[in-house]
Structure 1
Amino acid sequence: MKLPAAFPGPHEVAPRPARSAALALLLGLLLLAMLALELGVGAAGWSWPLVRELRLPRALAAAGVGALLAQAGLVMQLLLRNPLADPYVLGASGGAGLGALLMLVSFGGLLGLGSLLGALAALGLLLLLGRRALAATDEQAPAQLILIGAMLSAVFGACSTLTLALVPEHSLRGAVFWLVGDLSGATRGAYLCMLAALLALLLRAGARRLDRVALGGEQAWLLGEPLQRLRLGLVLAAALATAAAVSQAGAIGFVGLVVPQALRLRGVQRMHQQAWAAPMLGAALLLGADALARGVAMPYELPVGAITALVGAPVFVALLLRGQA
């Protein structure tokens, strides 16, 4: 099965460009609908104090995490020129998971702080090991970064497996939920939403340069773009967005993979639209997934990362098949 091209070449037919006004209206309505669903679902019924104290902060966290993961996936696919890249491909998620588990074993908590420190440590290793790849202009640079990220992810995954054996039994269930992806402990939703808005503004401001990066390293260099600086900025943006999201909700998959691909297949090809459309769709997707996680088996709550995987995998396959039709 041939994958649809992430960045259509001169001999490939791209989808019809999407109109910004219609796209913004559609995504805005979808986001409002998912927000209403998130605020209305729950075993305890509906009351304004409950919504204000519990559901609204969680809804903001879901929106912020979804937006950041979608933006990180968009940046990763642009940087690596690979439609199957996601926020976790460069090892940030593995480092965050290991950091959280080490904090849990050492201090009995502080998962968010541990995951943030772990993701930043993974970023530092990536920049150290991949400094030549970031400066290269040939098409091997993305492949080298992917290999370095895969190596880091494997090392962090093995260390996490070993550390999980040391987690106290009474904390084991929480640790497993967090590794799969869970929003029940997220408390910084407003800050995540502000960070996603800031990142959207930065991506929108640099849209023309980033569209040139999408042409490939050599083409961007010939057009006069500071390739190493742009790649470094993209790596930093994706890693920090991933670190912020993972520190609050654990490793939630498929959002960063599905959202940019869905937009691209609907004709949203240029960064000036992708910059704001990706966080809106990512926020709506995770709001809907969290509503399902809380409502499908009430009064029990399922890990939202499992819901995004169950929903995201068939949706992604459907998008690929539709892109070939």
Structure 2
Amino acid sequence: MQKTSHPTLFTPLKAGKAGLAVRRGLVFLGLLVLLVVGLTLGVGQGAVQIPALEVIRSMLGLQENPIITDMRLPRVLAALLVGAALGLSGAAFQGLFRNPLADPYLMGSAAGAAFGVTLAVSLAGGLTGAFAQHAVFDFLPVSATLFGFLGAVGAVFVVLLLSGGASRTHDLILAGVVVGSVLVSLTSYLMLQDADRVRAVFAYTLGNLAFISWQGVGSLALYLLLTLPIFWLLGRTLNALNLGEETARSLGLPLGQLKLLIIGAATLLTAAAVAQVGIIGFVGLVAPHALRRLIGGDYRYLLPASALGGAVLLVFADLLARTLIRPAELPVGILTTLLGGPFFLYLLWRGRRKG
């Protein structure tokens, strides 16, 4: 008897063109509706509950509420932007490495950001409000966020040097693991030099949206706007890469330059997100996988869908983190790990079963 195969999270969805187009439209519409609902609930819910009508009036500028304008609104917008950045970067890295378990932190950006922030804390002698903006030196107005960004970008740059360039995909993964391990060790060493500072850095590594400012939201929006056109243009390149590098070369694509462009754009997005709110795991892994199952593996659609899916996932995760143990709250990074860990194990199990 012939064995039939069923679609899994490791295989693209197979459907007729008309049916797939309808499904894609419904998925995008559903994600947009969920995002609007999540943003509305996120602004209204928390330690202090605000009625939906008051939320809407404040959003329209008909009344003022400092809790909404100064605390809730920048937080939910940051969740949207960070989730979109991680979802988009995760989809790009999965397509680049042709690996369903790739995530935005694969090349050491998270470890680099943690090392940069820890270094800023060590130089400044403390960090106000976990990883809030502040001057590291009196004469040099450099923020801990900038140190985190430079650490993330620097880590990926070292990985590219050690691996011999963007064209050596297998070596990139190995170098990313090694560089990440070394940076984690250096971060631990710096933290042990002053136990009083461990709490601030530890809060950063857990991921938290509580301390984001409007300036941080603007910075995230800028990086997202700068990189979105790049990913839009690279959708076909990722499609070609998933057919195999030989096939992509036969189409005349300059793979070395295009891979470097993908890594650069994804790294900038990841570094900006991690530098602002810390390390929030599994968003960049879960969102692309779930949406690949729904709309297929065409990266012209999967990239924007992953951005929307990551935004929806993080907006609702932050809402849960603020309301599960109200009036206290969980770091959102803990919640995404608790949700994403079982999903990751499921992927491993399905991959082994399929193999």
How far 1:161 sits from its partner (Å)? 1.2
The 5-angstrom pairing of residues 256-271 of structure 1 reads 256-271=284-299
Q: Does the Cα contact within 8 Å between 2:283 and 2:310 map onto a contact in 1?
A: yes
Q: Which runs of 5+ in 1 are unaligned?
A: 136-140
The 5-angstrom pairing of residues 236-315 of structure 1 reads 236-315=264-343
**What amino acid is the match of 2:329?**
E
The match for 1:159 is: 186
The match for 2:81 is: 64
Identify the match of residue 31 of structure 1 among 29, 35, 40: 35
- 1:215 alignment partner, SS class: coil
The match for 1:182 is: 208
The 5-angstrom pairing of residues 9-20 of structure 1 reads 14=14, 17=20, 19=22, 20=24
Question: Is residue 210 from structure 1 mapped to residue 238 from structure 2 by the alignment?
Answer: yes
Closer, same or farther in 2 for the Cα pair 1:255/1:90, shift >3 Å? same
The match for 1:87 is: 104
Question: Is residue 172 from structure 1 mapped to residue 198 from structure 2 by the alignment?
Answer: yes
The match for 1:142 is: 169
- 1:301 alignment partner, SS class: coil
Q: Does the Cα contact within 8 Å between 1:105 and 1:168 map onto a contact in 2?
A: no
The match for 1:220 is: 248
Between 94-103 and 43-52, report the one with greater CA deviation: 43-52
Q: What TM-score, normalized by structure 2, do the two folds share?
A: 0.81
Identify the match of residue 92 of structure 2 among 43, 58, 75: 75
CA distance in 1, matches of 2:222, 2:146: 19
The match for 2:49 is: 45
The match for 1:128 is: 161
Give CA-to-partner distance per residue, 1:3-46, whole Å, 9 cap, x none.
Answer: 957465xxxx7467453321221110111121122112111232
Closer, same or farther in 2 for the Cα pair 1:155/1:316, shift >3 Å? closer
Q: Which runs of 5+ in 2 are unaligned?
A: 1-5, 59-64, 128-142
Question: Is residue 118 from structure 1 mapped to residue 133 from structure 2 by the alignment?
Answer: no
Between 178-187 and 88-97, report the one with greater CA deviation: 178-187
Q: Does the Cα contact within 8 Å between 1:67 and 1:193 map onto a contact in 2?
A: no
How far 1:270 sits from its partner (Å)? 0.8
- 2:228 alignment partner, SS class: helix
How far 1:219 sits from its partner (Å)? 1.5
What is the number of equivalent residue pairs in this alignment?
A: 313
Q: What TM-score, normalized by structure 1, do the two folds share?
A: 0.88
CA distance in 2, matches of 1:221, 1:206: 15
How far 1:216 sits from its partner (Å)? 2.1
Closer, same or farther in 2 for the Cα pair 1:322/1:41, shift >3 Å? farther
CA distance in 1, matches of 2:340, 2:212: 22
Between 314-323 and 269-278, report the one with greater CA deviation: 314-323
CA distance in 2, matches of 1:95, 1:55: 29
Give CA-to-partner distance per residue, 1:214-263, whole Å, 9 cap, x none.
Answer: 22222211111000001101111121111000001111100011111111
**What amino acid is the match of 2:184?**
G
CA distance in 2, matches of 1:197, 1:32: 20
**What amino acid is the match of 1:122?**
A
Q: Does the Cα contact within 8 Å between 1:92 and 1:122 map onto a contact in 2?
A: yes
How far 1:275 sits from its partner (Å)? 2.3
The match for 2:61 is: none
CA distance in 2, matches of 1:53, 1:152: 38
What is the percent sequence identity of the aligned residues?
A: 37
Give CA-to-partner distance per residue, 1:99-134, whole Å, 9 cap, x none.
Answer: 1001011112333121111112112212212234x2
Give CA-to-partner distance per residue, 1:27-67, whole Å, 9 cap, x none.
Answer: 10111121122112111232641111110001111111111
Question: Is residue 201 from structure 1 mapped to residue 216 from structure 2 by the alignment?
Answer: no
Q: Does the Cα contact within 8 Å between 2:14 and 2:296 map onto a contact in 1?
A: no
CA distance in 2, matches of 1:184, 1:195: 20
Give CA-to-partner distance per residue, 1:164-188, whole Å, 9 cap, x none.
Answer: 112451x432221111111112221
The root-mean-square deviation of aligned C-alpha atoms, in Å, is 2.5
Higher CA-based Rg:
2
Closer, same or farther in 2 for the Cα pair 1:272/1:295, shift >3 Å? same
